[in-house]
Amino acid sequence: MPKIKLTKSELKGQRDAMKQFLRFLPTLQLKKQQLQMESQKCLERVKANNQREEQLKNQASSWLPLLGVQEEVQRLASYITVEGIETGRLNIAGVDIPVYKRTISKVATYDLFLESPWVDDAIKLLIELLELKAERNVLEEQRRRLERELRVTTQRVNLFEKVKIPECKENIRVIQIYLGDQQTASVGRSKIAKRKMSEVAA
């Protein structure tokens, strides 16, 4: 703890500092709660995204074996070009986070007579899986940003609650005791001086 001056001006400074910490603390605590809530929602959205991916794969399990080897999947995937991922911006508790809007993809034309009848369904599935992956990436970035801000906010809350406010309280207590002792000593000296003056006058 840094050495403090045992003066009235220091006492005022410590009281002002404590008022400031106590004024900002509820705002920081509220921000912390909001970030925790949003981070949890984000985690739930990632889980829902993963579940949707599993559902799609299960729905397609009847014809997926028809694709056969990995090369066939890659050949079909080559028909799809992702031209971009559209995102927006949202501010949550002072944190700018990206928000997934849509994946812009283009499907190359292919000969319907040469391809199997299930190829349309396979391409739709691959597009939806690509969209889910893009959305999950954005959600994970949201969560990273929220978690980073949550760590910083938690550190500030702990600093105020466990260090700064108790430190100010202790400094105020020490200064008040010192000033009280000084006042008592001053009154004592004043009485002694008065008594001596009375004795001299007599």
CATH of the domain at 102: 1.10.287.3240
Q: Which residues of 16-41 are buried (b: 16+ CB within 10 A; e: fewer)?
A: ebbeebeeebeebbebbebbbebbee
Asked if residue 163 is part of any domain, the answer here is yes
| pLDDT tens digits for range 78-124 | 888 899 999 999 999 899 999 999 999 998 887 777 777 777 888 88
5-9, 32-36, 69-73, 132-136 — which is least confidently predicted? Answer: 69-73
Asked if residue 87 is part of any domain, the answer here is yes
Domain that holds residue 189: 8-195
Asked if residue 16 is part of any domain, the answer here is yes
The whole-number pLDDT of residue 74 equals 74
| pLDDT tens digits for range 153-188 | 999 999 999 999 999 999 999 999 988 888 887 766
Asked if residue 3 is part of any domain, the answer here is no
> Which residue, chain included where needed, has tokens 């501010």?
91
Q: What percent of the chain has pLDDT over 70?
A: 87
Asked if residue 200 is part of any domain, the answer here is no
The whole-number pLDDT of residue 71 equals 63
Tokens standing for residue 92: 């949550």
Residue 197 pLDDT greater than 80, yes or no: no
Asked if residue 162 is part of any domain, the answer here is yes
Asked if residue 96 is part of any domain, the answer here is yes
Nearest by Cα to 25 from 155, 161, 199, 121: 161
The whole-number pLDDT of residue 150 equals 97
Residue 69 pLDDT greater than 90, yes or no: no
**Cα(178)–Cα(4) distance, rounded to whole angstroms?**
12
The whole-number pLDDT of residue 143 equals 95
Whole-number mean pLDDT of the chain?
Answer: 87
Q: How many domains does the chain have?
A: 1
